[in-house]
Structure 1
Amino acid sequence: MADDVDRGRKSIGARRNPASAGAILDAAEAVLVEAGYSGFSIEAVARRARAGKPTIYRWWPSKAALLLEVYQRQKRVDVPDTGILEEDLVGFLTNLFSHWRETSSGSVFRSLIAEAQSDETAAAALAGYAGGRRAHTGQIIERAKARGEVAADIDAAVVADLVASYAWRHLLTNRLEEPEAAIRKVVRYLLQGITAPGR
């Protein structure tokens, strides 16, 4: 019986072999480009990577987990650190929208969100990823706290969720051409609130 991966790369069990894992991720990206999300399958990735399905499932327990790693591998979004919270958030959202719009990662992530509505493994993978992203985006708020720009009792994770909600809504409704002025307006509402002065 053939090994899980071709003779040039050996599986080493639950611990990933970097060469094998890299070949599988390369294959997954190529399948996405050629076949799109609807044509993406573990079988297609295994064929292209010359890897066994057991190896792929050992390292990525679901199709969603593999796709999320492909998404994270593709994601290159600069997070500004200008010393001004408004500029940091506007810059981050502008860069994120541009990345989703100009690469395949936007359609991959949109499809993952959709699949998570009916697939428990996709939902669990997405929840794990979202938790990490919440902490990452929350660092923008924590930096502002350290500068005295944000009240000490503000929950950075809640603010990160609000930012993510705005971004995900635009992704899911394919409204990624949002001009900077519109993004800035939303950020100002978030930072300044909507309560009338003196109330």
Structure 2
Amino acid sequence: LEVYQRQKRVDVPDTGVLEEDLVGFLKNLFAHWRETSSGSVFRSLIAEAQSDETAAAALADYSLGRRSHTAQIIERAKARGEIPAEIDSAVVADLIASFAWRHLLTNRLDEDEATIGKAVNYVMRGIAAPAS
């Protein structure tokens, strides 16, 4: 984990539009994982955490910090009045992380911006049919 944490941090956009910020964050994260050793290091850490309690605890602690960091993107949108105050930023951060981790673990870090945008749009708008 220390090796991973020493890597350059991922830039988090602040465009003033939540959807653009989340797409930009995921694009930057995928590029970071793809273009540096960070992706393979983090993938190995996740694998090790499946059978090693110490690694699992370290990953859980690290993930909480990253969850909080990603949730700040959501909190900025709340402060702008872009999304309702009752939205649970941590849950939204988990949804974004789930998308990212799945792509990391399946080595699909070359996802195009349109697909990333579609995934973020589904998180932003939900998938249920509008009430009639």
What's the TM-score once normalised by structure 2's chain length?
A: 0.98
Structure 2 stretches lacking a partner, 5+ long? none
Aligned to 2:41: 108
Q: RCO higher in 1 or 2 (8 Å CA, sep ≥ 6)?
A: 2
Distance (whole Å) between structure 1 residues aligned to residue 129 and residue 40 of structure 2 = 39
Amino acid in structure 1 at the alignment position of 2:98: S
SS in 2 for 1:98: helix
The aligned runs of 1:105-144 (5 Å cut-off) are: 105-144=38-77
Amino acid in structure 2 at the alignment position of 1:166: F
Q: Aligned pair 1:99/2:21, yes or no?
A: no
SS in 2 for 1:74: coil
Amino acid in structure 2 at the alignment position of 1:194: I
Percentage identity across paired residues of the two chains: 80
Q: Aligned pair 1:163/2:96, yes or no?
A: yes
Distance (whole Å) between structure 2 residues aligned to residue 197 and residue 105 of structure 1 = 41
Distance (whole Å) between structure 1 residues aligned to residue 96 and residue 65 of structure 2 = 14
Q: Aligned pair 1:196/2:119, yes or no?
A: no
Distance (whole Å) between structure 2 residues aligned to residue 167 and residue 110 of structure 1 = 11
CA radius of gyration, larger in: 1
Q: Aligned pair 1:83/2:21, yes or no?
A: no
Distance (whole Å) between structure 1 residues aligned to residue 131 and residue 71 of structure 2 = 29
Aligned to 1:185: 118
SS in 1 for 2:6: helix
How many residue pairs match? The answer is: 132
CA RMSD of aligned residues (A): 0.7
Distance (whole Å) between structure 2 residues aligned to residue 120 and residue 133 of structure 1 = 20
What's the TM-score once normalised by structure 1's chain length?
A: 0.65
Please report how far the alpha carbon of residue 89 of structure 1 lies from its aligned counterpart in structure 2 after TM superposition. 0.2
Structure 1 stretches lacking a partner, 5+ long? 1-67
